[in-house]
Structure 1
Amino acid sequence: MKADNSSAMTAGLASGALVFDQVSKQYGSVTAVDNVSFSIPKGDLVTLLGPSGCGKTSTLRLIAGLEHVSRGRILIGGQDVTRQSAIERNVSMVFQSYALFPHMTVQENVAYGLEVGGARKTEAKERAIEGLRLVGLADFGPRLPSELSGGQQQRVAVARALVLEPQVLLLDEPLSNLDTKLRRRVRDEIREIQQRLRLTAVYVTHDQEEALAVSDQIIVMNKQKVAQQGSPRDLFETPADEFVADFICDANLVAGELQGEACEIGGIKLQLANPRRYRGAVRVAVRPDAMRLRPAAANDPLVGAVLHAAFLGTEMQYTLASPLGELFVRQAEVRRPLAVGSSVAIDFADHGLCVVGGQA
C-alpha cells in the first residue's frame, strides 16, 4: 500500500490501533520520512523492513514520541498523539542495546519503569515477577544482567516493556546483537509472547528472514517512503516492483516479452499468474529457487555457464553467466554438484516468477 492523499484512505486508516496519516519528518533540508501512511490493526505484529537509511528507524522513533512529525498525524487507539511527548504516549520500546542497568538486579530492572511511573514498590515487584514469568525467567530475578546470556538479557528487556502494559510495543532491531542460532530462538519467543498477549507491535529490522518469520504484515520502506505493505506471503510471491523483489526475495531481474497470456524469457514460453496487464517488453523477477539446472544439451533454448558454486549443507548456490545476465540460483540437489566452468541448461519452475515492471 503506497501513501495516498485521498480522504477515503484517511477515513479507512482511522480504524487501526496505530495510524500514520501522511506523516513526514524533516531535519532541515534532509527528509527522513516522506508522506508515509499506514494502519496497523489491534493485536498485529507489523515489521518495518528496509535497507539502512530508508526511514524505518525514524518512523519507529516518531511512533515512540522520541521525534516529532513535521507534517501529518499519528493516532494510537483512535487518539491523536501527534503533539504528545514520549512519556504521554502509551508505548514501550525494546532497544537494540537492551539498555539494562548493570548495578540493578534483573527484577529491579523490570520494575524500574513502573516505579518511575508512580507504582508502589510492592505492586511494581509483583508485576515484575509476573513479567519475568511471561518471558520464561521467573527464577532469574535476583541475578545481575552480567550473569545472563545475551538472549536472556534481551528477554529481560522485553519483560520490562511488557509490564508497562503498552497499547503499542516497539522493538528496534531487538536481535541484532545475538548469534544466528540464538536469534532464531529469541525471535520465536518474542512472536509467541506477542500472539499470546495479543499485543499490537511494531518491529524494525533489516533482516528479510526475520521479518518473514515474525510478522502478520510487513511494511517495506525505500527512500523514506512505503514501497509495499502486505502479508509475508503476498510480498514474497507478488512483489510490487523491482526493489521489493530484489530486497525481499533476492530475485534475479531479467527481461521478458509478453505475448498474450504467455511470457517469453530467454526463448522459453511461460504462463505467469500475474502479468499485471502489462504488454510487450517487461521486467520479470525470478527467485533463485525458481530455476532448474542440468547439464546442457545441443537443443536447449537457454544455456549458461557456472561461474561459482558454493556448498551450504542443505543446498548448492550457483552464480551463472547467461544470455539473461548474471543469475543467482539455489538448488536442493547437493549430492551431484555442477562443476565450475560447466555448461548448464536453465529452465523455470511453475512458481517464483513475477512481472514487476513494463509498459502498461
Structure 2
Amino acid sequence: MKDHILVVGGYGHVGRLICQQLENLYPDKVIAAGRSFSKAREFCSTTNGSVIPLELDITKSLPSDLFETVRIVVMCLDQKDTGFIQACFANNVDYIDISANHSFLSRIEELQTEAMNHKTAAVLSVGLAPGLTNLLARHTKSYLDNTEEMDIYVMLGLGDRHGRAAIEWTIDNLNTRFQVYSNWEKVNVDTFSSGKTTYFGKELGERKGYRFYFSDQNSLPHTLQIPTVSTRLCFDSKVITYVIMLLKRVGIFRLIKYQSIRKVMVWLFSKIRWGKELYALKIDAFGEVSGKRVKAECSIQGRQEALLTAKIAAKLTEKLYTMKGLNGIYHLEELFDIDSFYPDVIAPHVR
C-alpha cells in the first residue's frame, strides 16, 4: 500500500522539523532519508520510533523497491538534475520541493507533460521565500482590479538559527547577476543593488531592502499575471544590511569563487547572532481599483523561519495526501490561498 511519506534530507535542519510535524499525523509512515544511516537513525531515535530511518543517496542508483510504499516525497536537498523527480513520477509518487533555486525549479516545470502522463503532481515554492511570499502576493493582489507592479520585501532575523544549506545558498548568491521581469520583459540586475525602502509596521519601522535572487519574482509574473515583480532582502540589523551592501559595492563578494574564502564567509554567517529570531514579509502592490491608481500593502511577521517552512511543507503534505486527481506541476499559490494555512501554520496576523 502506498501510504508512506519520504522526506529526503530528513535529518537536516529543516527536514527533521518536517518529520516532527508529520509524525503525529502519520505515525510509522514517515521516512527520514539521507546519505548517512547513522545520522538518520540518531534523529529517528528522538521520535520514539515513529519516524523510520533510511540510507539514500539520490545521486546514485535507486533501490528497486524504494517507491513501493511511498505516497509523497518531500525534497529538502538541492539537486543537480531531475532524474530523481522523474523516478517519482514514473512510480506514481507525488512530489514537494522546498528549494529556492529558480534555475532548478524551472527545470522541474519543464516536466509538466511527464507529470500529467503519469497522473502525478509536484508542488514548488514551498517555504518562506518562495512560499509564504507567494501566498501573501496572491492575497495582496486580490485587493486590486488590475496589478501592474509588485515589490516583495523579505526581512530575516540574524538571531534566528539557519541551516548550513540556507547559509551557503545566501553566500553563493551575494555576487549573482540574474533576471527579473519588468513590464513583461526580462532585465538583468545585480544582487544587493537598487535599494528600496518600505514600512514594515510600527515595531520594525522603515527598512531598505536590496535585490536578491529569490525565485518568487520569476514565477509570480506567470502564476499571478503581474508584469513587474521584484524581491528584496534586508536583515533585522540595519547595520549588517548596510555593511553587506557596501561590501557588495566594492566587490568583496567576488572572492566567493575561492573555496577558502567561501568557507570563511559561511562560518562567519553561521556565527552571527546580532538580531532577533524573526522573519517579516511585506508586499507593496501598485495598480488600479475602479479606474483609480492605488497601492495595496500587506505584511506578516513571525519567528523561526525554518519552523515556518516545515509547517507549510507538512500542511501541504497533509493536503496532498488526501487530494484526489491532482495532476501536473504547480507553484503553491496556484493551488491555495493564504487562508488555507490559517490558523495552525500561520498566526492570524496579516495586515
TM-score normalised by L of structure 1:
0.24
Structure with the greater relative contact order (CA < 8 A, sep ≥ 6): 1 or 2? 2
The structure with the largest alpha-carbon Rg is 1
Structure with more strand by fraction = 1
TM-score normalised by L of structure 2:
0.25
Structure with more helix by fraction = 2
